[in-house]
A and B are shown apart, each in its own frame.
Chain A
Amino acid sequence: MYINSTVIRMLEETIIAIIVIYMVLRLFVTLDRLERMPYLNVINFSVAAIITIQNPSPLGAVTSMIYFIMATVAANAIAFTIDKIGEIEHDSD
């Protein structure tokens, strides 16, 4: 039973690690700034998932929730700033 449960957790960890590596390489290659934001969102999802999968306790769940909400607020600020910078530089031409 114990070996079976560790094998299950290894499988999920492997899937999430492959997703993270693929997404971060694609984010590094892409040059368009607004195209990068959905890839960053997938990385946030994966990290919030791996926090709870590695630590199955109430503190792990609370850490995952706080991480995901703060990361979403930061992504909101980054997208707003990209839009605002485009406006400012477009007006100055």
Chain B
Amino acid sequence: MEEIIAIFIAAVLSWVNFVLIDIWMGLPEAPGVKGAGAIGKSIEKRGGDLGGGFFSGNIVCSPDASAGTLLASCAYYAFGSPEGGLIAALFVYFGNRICADPGYAGTSGALTTTILIWLTSFIGIAPQNFIVGMVLAALTIQGLYHPVTSKLIGKMARKMNRKVIQDN
């Protein structure tokens, strides 16, 4: 029972971490590549919000703070020390440059996740709980029902002053 509570807390923490960093780094503003714009317009056509759609498409098309959170917790769990998070930040930066992205979101996501896991290890939440928590968080954003989650992301983006920039 304690493990289920730990996984739930880790899921909430990683959800807040990657959604806040992705919105702050401007993912709902514009699609980085062409396929992300197509996914966003498809979600808007099915009754969602355009900013949330661009957010979802950018997560699909390049490794952003969601990938930073997942890979940093994986590397922390495998290397057994906070050095894994630093190695994961390096790998995520190279992966971002391959996918035609500047790479600020993924690297800062990996570093903040490393600090977060190191802080929560004192209250008994292990890194493998963060791995499963990140998969659950990605499920709630990408997998359940796109119109509701894209409206929620669009509302948060408008509150954090990251509106959609119409350029085309």
CB distance from A81 to the nearest CB of B (A): 8
Residue B135, interface by CB 8 Å = yes
Residue B119, interface by CB 8 Å = no
Residues of A within 8 A of B94 (CB): 69
Residue B105, interface by CB 8 Å = no
Decide if B34 touches A83 in the complex (CB within 8 Å). Answer: yes
CB distance from A33 to the nearest CB of B (A): 9
Q: Chain B 145-168 against A: per-residue CB contact (8 Å), 1 yes, 0 no?
A: 010000000000000000000000
Residues of B within 8 A of A49 (CB): 70, 74, 131-132, 134-135
Interface size on B, residues (CB 8 A): 50
Residue B67, interface by CB 8 Å = yes
Decide if A80 touches B34 in the complex (CB within 8 Å). Answer: yes
Residue A92, interface by CB 8 Å = no
Besides A41-B138, A45-B135, A73-B99, 10 new A-B residue pairs in contact (Cβ under 8 A), listed by A number: A26-B143, A34-B38, A53-B77, A61-B79, A64-B74, A65-B75, A68-B63, A69-B92, A72-B99, A76-B35
Which residues does B use to contact A, with CB under 8 Å?
3-4, 7, 33-39, 42, 46, 56-57, 59-63, 66-67, 70-71, 74-75, 77-79, 84, 87-88, 91-92, 94-95, 98-99, 126, 128-129, 131-132, 134-136, 138-139, 142-143, 146
